[in-house]
Amino acid sequence: MTTLAEQAAVGGEKPEGPRPDLGDPSFWQRPHAERLHAFALLRQWEAPQYFVEREKGRGRRERGFHALVTHADVVEASRNPEVFASAPGATTPEPARWVRALFGDSLVNLDGPSHAQLRRIVSRSFTPRILGRTEEDIRAVAARIVDDVLADGGGAALSDRPGDFVTAVASRMPFEVICNLMGIPEKERPAILGQVNRASGDTGVARAARDRFRMPGKGLRALASMQGMVADLGRERRRNPTDDLISMLVSADVDGQALTGRQLGAFFSLLMVAGVETTRNAIAHGLDLLTRHPEQRALLMGDFDRYADGATEEIVRHSTPIIQFRRTLTRDHRMNGHTFRKGDKVVLFYASANRDETVFTDPDAFDITRSPNPHVGYGGGGPHYCLGTYLAKQEMKALFRELLTRAPGLRATAAPVLVPSNFDNRVRSMPYAVGTG
Ligand code: HEM
């Protein structure tokens, strides 16, 4: 069998031999750079790759999927939701029937009017106008985290003291911000954080394969209990509304629409994954990238206001916190020379589209001045485009401003430890030091 390195040696010509198998769990255990290289090879094929049915043992079979690896394909499929539907599931594996019965349908798995209706209710709390009010709070959260980092780093001496950047900094920022937004009481937060960690702690390829056939485990029980707690809060806010997001979500809007208790619980769980884990990974990759590219870091530190927007976009493009989402064909369709059949599964590989050399010059370079930067890190457009883009940017800018100005010597002291996953570019841990500036 030809190795990836041998295929690379073919140079500009179309590689021959076996294609990297994205459906093989062991592919996702390989080093990140090797996987990106495999995507670069796949982009050289004219048509998307198709996996035939795979034998999964004990008589079970798994349907294959088309892999969309170019920027053009990912954008086109994202913007054609009538053909590329999110139901029955935008994640792989799709949620089991009992999971949907228990938790209800998540926004990411809905299409058409039912998606539009739910999205309308939740998006009224995520407009830049509403979020503008939270800017002060986001800055305060960032400042508190950096206070702790400095205290932990040795106070006046600021001596190097390795710790884990993910737990000390990256995950705290989005978790605190979402809890503040939602109005989650301080006393409930440690339990929620514990439940989130239990629910998501060992995600990745192995768990995805296991969950398909297993009944609810500890993680799902934790999720159910978290959703129950949030639904209770919703009932309480309906009786005594405050100015938080839960009150807004459970109060009827001008059309008389509001979230039910179950929908509120499901939306909160989605926010914990979509809003906390993504941003935490982007922040951790951000520090890694700024450490490995001192010239980019110097540029950013030299004029933060000028380069901050470009830096947050480039961090998301380069690291692509969400590797992929899936769609299912509602009818036969031809796109970019390839025929898809009704019922076919199609995986939109944002991680590959963001390195597409026909769109991005020198795509592997980390360049905070890149302009334009039409990356698909928040999705390729269309109705499911990330609801939290504005919030994620606000959080990243506030945190890096505080970190780089108040702890200018802070850096990652080793490469991030990644969780093998075909869904998100998740950082398990990353050692850091405060340094001396
Ligand atoms: C760097 C951080 C983030 C990244 C990389 C990211 C990425 C994404 C991606 C790729 C999608 C799917 C888009 C599609 O299918 O077209 C998505 C959807 C979504 N994101 Fe984000 N996200 C981030 C932060 C956030 C935050 C902070 C929130 C909320 C607080 C959030 C809430 C959502 C929601 C609710 C959806 C589902 C939208 C729908 O299906 O209509 N995300 N995000």
By most ligand atoms within 8 Å of CB, the mutation choice from 76, 386, 393 for ligand 1 is 386
Question: What is the distance in A from the centroid of ligand 1 to the CA of 282?
Answer: 12
For residue 318, the model assigns a pLDDT of: 98
By most ligand atoms within 8 Å of CB, the mutation choice from 171, 387, 426 for ligand 1 is 387
Ligand 1 atom closest to Cα of 119?
41
Pocket flag, ligand 1, residue 416 (CB < 6 Å):
no
In which residue are the tokens 């939740």 written?
122
Question: What is the distance in A from the centroid of ligand 1 to the CA of 112?
Answer: 18
Question: What is the distance in A from the centroid of ligand 1 to the CA of 57?
Answer: 35
What are the Cα distances from residue 184, in Å, to 40, 77, 106, 235, 262?
A: 44, 37, 21, 13, 17
Tokens of 4: 């990836």
Which residue's alpha carbon is at the smallest distance from atom 7 of ligand 1? 378
3-state helix vs strand vs coil in the chain, percent to 5:
50, 10, 40
Neighbours of 116 (CB within 10 A): 11
Distance of CA 59 to the CA centre of its chain: 34
Tokens of 428: 């398990």
Tokens of 73: 């394909």
| Nearest of 397, 201, 194 to residue 315 by alpha carbon | 397
Pocket flag, ligand 1, residue 348 (CB < 6 Å):
no
Pocket flag, ligand 1, residue 78 (CB < 6 Å):
yes
Backbone angles phi, psi at 431, to 5 degrees: -70, 145
DSSP annotation of 166 reads I
Question: How far apart are the C-alpha atoms of 205 and 54, rounded to whole Å?
Answer: 16
**Element of type H or E holding 325:** strand 324-329
For residue 11, the model assigns a pLDDT of: 41
For residue 217, the model assigns a pLDDT of: 55
pLDDT < 70 stretches in the chain: 1-18, 46-49, 52-62, 93-104, 153-162, 197-220, 254, 437
Amino acid at 247: S
Question: How far apart are the C-alpha atoms of 380 and 72, rounded to whole Å?
Answer: 9
Question: What is the distance in A from the centroid of ligand 1 to the CA of 388?
Answer: 6
What are the Cα distances from residue 47, in Å, to 43, 69, 160, 281, 334?
A: 9, 10, 51, 31, 11
Tokens of 7: 């295929």
